[in-house]
């Protein structure tokens, strides 16, 4: 049989998706389904003095109004790491857009009218929109008391610090060597501060959930990336046993870390309990913008350098504007902090990373998970050091880059690919050092930039299960809990099973994801599906194969060792048997299944800073050539080359799709994506005012180069690669802008106005 791994087999969800037959949550039709609508606070920080829903309730067609007055649940607060967010506002509202009430009516128009009749009296409180405001000594507390789901258990070098009576909700510290003190031994010390924007995931499919409670059995349909953790959160809020909660994940219209489905599911369940009918909560685009965002980051780096350019020490401070509710942002702070020294050999490091409550839109995970913020800071900073020391920026990187096999941090997984080789290739490809003066218009300047990002990929101490069933007719059913969010996980993991069982991919079916039947999987995030769930799948396939071959040995009265699988049949000394023949004989003509199981988990290890090894290193190196219009400040990316390492590509086309898609996310944040507040209100919560990357933003020349260095923990050496592509974009573009016009910009996005102002200030 020709190998399946590395082949671009047809993606399993392709046909459904191109014919419009793929069913997403919003396409579900259930008898009695009604829509719920929510009332949002116009104020960013206020006590709720009074709330009266009687007028709304009296409108014909209104089935229920949910407010704090009738929100009877086991625990009204939920959250991924800190239970900070109520289902509906209780004593106060914490951002403009906070949910105060929800209505279900027989028709959407009636529900919307009912929302207008809910009377709410507020007592305004001072608002804190920036990190600086939230950290002032006299700042009011946005949350009076907090219940942490768990306090992180870090390993060597990393510590967690609790701040009582503060808006700081998470403080991660990482130290190695002599930390900050070693800066004294440097010949030069450079310090720079950077700002990275708050952005919106904008998956094309909005936040949506459908919940149906029948008796004491609850079913939720939702495009969540984490069905099992959603089940857990719903269980805690409503006091239901996990076994009575069933989460079904239909097709998902994009994820990117947006925590889609959590809030909508909890609201839908709360309303479904009141009306005893299936309830759908579907947010509008405006509401999506006000649900979750990437935290705005302020990052300061101080690096001590020897005369020859060798880095010796680094001190970093990272502040994330966590908004009103923080979801996974504490983890984002931790990861951004841990990654601040980048792919460089720096013996002495001290980093403090904080997540801070403010009255902005809630925040959480976002593709890259702190990596793009950190890489923007350390790669811009590196170029600034190179410029000040008059050292070539590529040479300075070469001097300090970690070698393959060298530890990223003491105790953690060694670097698993050739970073210097990747940089060298990139510099050659972009023709580093060769300046292009071809534009005839004197106000157009060209420049080149490079950046090298890494992030720990695959999450921390994640676990996954999988199940491979061989059915009596020789077809195979594969079941796992990683969510198909477009990345192609269902196709790639099917390929793993085809390879392990030596059968044609067409014989395998991937089961739908339903927590009632699908074995547990932690979540589809951190580029972990291929590398973590993939290992569980590979183990399940091998378990099924061993059971099948043992059965064959028993049927044939021969040794297991003499048997093998080839081209979909069992081979024994030149004789071939079908799966069906073996299974029928072995199981006495009943119609059984062989059930192969696989489990994988990275172990805890206190010798490692984050308490468990980084599964692999996700590489995001990039080189770019830009054009800057000095008159308007407009920046155009002419060329972008991305380098990443897949370890081993299971499905090369999908790998390329992941990297190119990630680069476009990077381009969006480098050039125009940013949530903008005026006073306390988010003023661009729509696609007219919030600019997403579109076809016209494609660089004239855009390519990705995917290495296969085989160093990943996944099947056949595979690593994850869903996020790497973003890492280098913003710093490479800023470095190129500096190369073009000699102006350094330390805050993205590079809107024309920002570039123009900076250029005028520093001519």
Active site members: 723
Which one of 179, 197, 206, 370 is in contact with another protein (CB under 8 A)?
A: 206
Give the count of alpha carbons within 13 A of 310, CB side only.
7
Distance of CA 31 to the CA centre of its chain: 35
Contacting range for another protein; rule: CB under 8 A; set: 35-43, 197-205, 304-312, 355-363: 197-205
The residue with tokens 């980048």 is 342
How far apart are alpha carbons 176 and 347 in whole angstroms?
Answer: 7
Contacting range for another protein; rule: CB under 8 A; set: 119-127, 572-580, 608-616, 692-700: 692-700
How far apart are alpha carbons 330 and 322 in whole angstroms?
Answer: 8
- DSSP 8-state symbol, 511: P
687 binds another protein (CB under 8 A): yes
Q: Are strands 168-176 and 348-357 parallel, antiparallel or unpaired?
A: antiparallel
21 binds another protein (CB under 8 A): yes
Contacts of residue 27, Cβ cutoff 8 Å, sequence gap at least 6: 250
x/- map, 580-619, another protein, by CB under 8 A = ----------------------------------------
Which one of 2, 50, 434, 694 is in contact with another protein (CB under 8 A)?
A: 694
Which one of 364, 661, 713, 714 is in contact with another protein (CB under 8 A)?
A: 661
How far apart are alpha carbons 525 and 723 in whole angstroms?
Answer: 10
Whether the CB-CB separation of 256 and 665 falls below 8 Å is answered with yes
* Closest separation in Å from C-beta 284 to another protein: 6
> What residues numbered 230-259 form the site for another protein, per CB under 8 A?
251-256
Cα maximum dimension of the chain: 86
Toward another protein, which CB reaches closer, 437 or 695? 695
Which one of 603, 695, 761, 763 is in contact with another protein (CB under 8 A)?
A: 695
Whether the CB-CB separation of 156 and 608 falls below 8 Å is answered with yes
* Closest separation in Å from C-beta 27 to another protein: 4
* Closest separation in Å from C-beta 35 to another protein: 11
Toward another protein, which CB reaches closer, 381 or 639? 639
Distance of CA 169 to the CA centre of its chain: 21
Residue 2: which of 499, 655, 647 has the closest Cα?
A: 499
31 binds another protein (CB under 8 A): no
x/- map, 620-649, another protein, by CB under 8 A = ------------------------------
Residue 292: which of 262, 337, 266, 267 has the closest Cα?
A: 262
3-class DSSP state of 299: strand
**In degrees, to the nearest 5, what angle opens at C-alpha 433 toward C-alphas 431 and 437?**
90
Residue 674: which of 291, 332, 200, 131 has the closest Cα?
A: 200
Q: How far apart are the first and last CA of the chain?
A: 65
Which one of 225, 487, 535, 614 is in contact with another protein (CB under 8 A)?
A: 487
Which one of 331, 522, 530, 654 is in contact with another protein (CB under 8 A)?
A: 654
Whether the CB-CB separation of 687 and 589 falls below 8 Å is answered with no
Contacts of residue 58, Cβ cutoff 8 Å, sequence gap at least 6: none
Strands (E), 364-520: 444-457, 463-470, 476-480, 508-510, 513-514
Whether the CB-CB separation of 124 and 45 falls below 8 Å is answered with yes
* Closest separation in Å from C-beta 207 to another protein: 11
The counts of H helices and E strands in the chain are 18, 34
How far apart are alpha carbons 691 and 680 in whole angstroms?
Answer: 21
Which one of 35, 192, 205, 709 is in contact with another protein (CB under 8 A)?
A: 205
505 binds another protein (CB under 8 A): no
Strand order in the sheet with 476-480: 508-510, 476-480, 463-470, 594-601
Contacting range for another protein; rule: CB under 8 A; set: 173-181, 371-379, 551-559, 658-666: 658-666
Toward another protein, which CB reaches closer, 115 or 129? 115
β-sheet bridge partners, residue 313: 304, 348
* Closest separation in Å from C-beta 671 to another protein: 15
Toward another protein, which CB reaches closer, 11 or 170? 11
660 binds another protein (CB under 8 A): yes
Contacting range for another protein; rule: CB under 8 A; set: 485-493, 541-549, 560-568, 569-577: 485-493
Count of residues that interact with another protein, criterion CB under 8 A: 57
15 binds another protein (CB under 8 A): yes
* Closest separation in Å from C-beta 317 to another protein: 32
> What residues numbered 116-135 form the site for another protein, per CB under 8 A?
116
Which one of 1, 3, 14, 631 is in contact with another protein (CB under 8 A)?
A: 14
163 binds another protein (CB under 8 A): no
Which one of 152, 657, 710, 752 is in contact with another protein (CB under 8 A)?
A: 657
Which one of 2, 144, 165, 204 is in contact with another protein (CB under 8 A)?
A: 204
Whether the CB-CB separation of 28 and 342 falls below 8 Å is answered with no
How far apart are alpha carbons 324 and 344 in whole angstroms?
Answer: 35
Toward another protein, which CB reaches closer, 519 or 668? 668
Which one of 138, 561, 688, 763 is in contact with another protein (CB under 8 A)?
A: 688
Size (the chain), residues: 763
Whether the CB-CB separation of 737 and 749 falls below 8 Å is answered with no
434 binds another protein (CB under 8 A): no
Toward another protein, which CB reaches closer, 112 or 581? 112
Toward another protein, which CB reaches closer, 289 or 602? 289
β-sheet bridge partners, residue 220: 211, 247
* Closest separation in Å from C-beta 55 to another protein: 10
How far apart are alpha carbons 257 and 726 in whole angstroms?
Answer: 14
26 binds another protein (CB under 8 A): yes
> What residues numbered 268-307 form the site for another protein, per CB under 8 A?
284-285
Contacting range for another protein; rule: CB under 8 A; set: 404-412, 551-559, 581-589, 653-661: 653-661
* Closest separation in Å from C-beta 205 to another protein: 5
75 binds another protein (CB under 8 A): no
- DSSP 8-state symbol, 530: I
Toward another protein, which CB reaches closer, 368 or 611? 368
683 binds another protein (CB under 8 A): no
30 binds another protein (CB under 8 A): no
109 binds another protein (CB under 8 A): yes
Residue 361's CB is within 10 A of a number of other CB atoms, namely 26
* Closest separation in Å from C-beta 8 to another protein: 8
The residue with tokens 């996005």 is 749
692 binds another protein (CB under 8 A): yes
Whether the CB-CB separation of 528 and 720 falls below 8 Å is answered with yes
202 binds another protein (CB under 8 A): yes
488 binds another protein (CB under 8 A): yes
160 binds another protein (CB under 8 A): no
Distance of CA 385 to the CA centre of its chain: 31
Backbone angles phi, psi at 314, to 5 degrees: -145, 135
By the criterion CB under 8 A, which residues form the site for another protein?
10-11, 13-24, 26-27, 109, 113, 116, 202-206, 251-256, 284-285, 485-488, 653-654, 656-657, 659-665, 686-688, 692-696, 698, 702
């Amino acid at each position: 049989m020709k190998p399946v791994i590395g082949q671009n087999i047809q993606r399993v969800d392709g046909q459904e998706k191109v014919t419009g037959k793929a069913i997403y949550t919003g396409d579900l039709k259930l008898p009695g389904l009604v829509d719920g609508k929510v009332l949002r606070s116009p104020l960013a920080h206020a006590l709720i003095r009074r709330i009266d829903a009687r007028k709304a309730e009296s409108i014909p067609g209104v089935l229920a109004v949910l407010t704090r007055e009738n929100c009877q649940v086991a625990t009204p607060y939920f959250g991924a790491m800190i239970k900070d967010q109520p289902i509906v506002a209780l004593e106060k509202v914490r951002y403009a857009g906070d949910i105060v009430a929800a209505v279900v009516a027989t028709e959407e128009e009636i529900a919307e009218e009912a929302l207008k009749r809910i009377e709410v009296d507020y007592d305004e409180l001072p608002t804190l929109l920036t990190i600086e405001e939230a950290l002032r000594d006299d700042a009011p507390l946005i949350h009076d008391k907090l219940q942490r789901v768990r306090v992180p258990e870090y390993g060597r070098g990393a510590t967690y610090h609790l701040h009582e009576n503060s808006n700081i909700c998470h403080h991660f510290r990482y130290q190695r060597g002599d930390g900050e003190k070693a800066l004294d031994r440097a010949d030069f010390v450079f310090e720079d501060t950077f700002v990275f924007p708050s952005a919106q995931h904008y998956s094309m499919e909005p936040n949506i959930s459908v919940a149906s409670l029948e008796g004491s059995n609850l079913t939720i349909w939702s495009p969540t990336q984490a069905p099992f953790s959603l089940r857990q959160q719903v269980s805690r809020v409503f006091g239901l046993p996990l076994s009575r909660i069933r989460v079904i994940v239909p097709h998902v219209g994009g994820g990117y870390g947006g925590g889609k489905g959590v809030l909508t599911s909890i609201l839908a369940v709360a309303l479904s309990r009141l009306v005893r009918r299936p309830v759908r909560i579907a947010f509008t685009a405006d509401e999506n913008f006000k649900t979750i965002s990437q935290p705005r980051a302020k990052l300061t780096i101080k690096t001590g350098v020897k005369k020859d350019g060798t880095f010796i020490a680094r001190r970093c401070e990272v502040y994330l504007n966590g908004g009103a509710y923080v979801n996974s942002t504490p983890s984002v702070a931790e990861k951004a902090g841990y990654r601040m020294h980048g792919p460089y050999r720096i013996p002495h490091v001290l980093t403090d990373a904080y997540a801070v409550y403010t009255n902005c839109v809630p925040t959480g995970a976002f593709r890259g998970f702190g990596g793009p913020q950190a890489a923007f800071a350390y790669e811009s900073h590196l170029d600034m050091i190179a410029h000040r020391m008059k050292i070539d920026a590529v040479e300075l990187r070469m001097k300090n880059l970690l070698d393959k096999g060298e530890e990223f941090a003491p105790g953690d997984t060694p670097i698993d690919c050739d970073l210097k080789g990747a940089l060298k290739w990139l510099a050659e490809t972009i023709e580093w050092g060769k300046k292009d003066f071809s534009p005839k218009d004197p106000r157009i300047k060209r420049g080149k930039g490079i950046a090298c990002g890494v992030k720990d990929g695959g999450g921390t101490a994640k676990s996954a299960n999988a199940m491979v069933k061989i059915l009596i007719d020789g077809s195979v059913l594969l079941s796992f809990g990683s969510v198909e969010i477009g990345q192609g996980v269902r196709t790639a993991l099917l390929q793993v099973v085809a390879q392990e069982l030596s059968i044609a991919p067409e014989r395998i079916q991937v089961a739908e994801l339903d927590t009632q039947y699908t074995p547990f999987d932690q979540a589809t995030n951190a580029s972990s599906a291929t590398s973590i769930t993939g290992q569980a799948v590979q183990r399940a396939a091998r378990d099924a194969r061993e059971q099948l071959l043992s059965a064959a040995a028993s049927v044939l009265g021969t040794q297991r060792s003499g048997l093998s699988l080839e081209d979909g049949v069992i081979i024994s000394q030149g004789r071939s048997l079908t799966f069906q023949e073996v299974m029928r004989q072995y199981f006495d003509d009943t119609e059984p299944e062989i059930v192969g199981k696989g489990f994988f988990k990275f172990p805890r290890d206190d010798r490692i800073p984050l308490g468990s090894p980084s599964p692999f290193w996700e590489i995001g190196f990039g080189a770019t050539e830009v054009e800057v219009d000095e008159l308007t400040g407009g920046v155009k990316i002419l060329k972008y080359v991305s380098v990443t390492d897949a370890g081993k590509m299971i499905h090369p086309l999908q790998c390329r799709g992941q990297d190119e898609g990630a680069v476009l996310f990077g381009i969006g944040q480098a050039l125009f994506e940013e949530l903008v507040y005026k006073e306390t209100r988010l003023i661009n919560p729509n696609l007219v005012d919030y600019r997403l990357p579109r076809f016209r933003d494609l660089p004239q020349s855009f390519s990705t180069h995917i290495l296969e260095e085989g160093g990943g923990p996944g099947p056949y050496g595979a690593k994850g690669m869903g996020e790497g592509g973003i890492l280098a974009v913003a710093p490479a573009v800023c470095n190129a802008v500096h190369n073009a016009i000699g102006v350094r910009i330390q805050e993205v996005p590079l809107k024309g106005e920002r570039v123009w102002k900076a250029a005028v200030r520093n001519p």
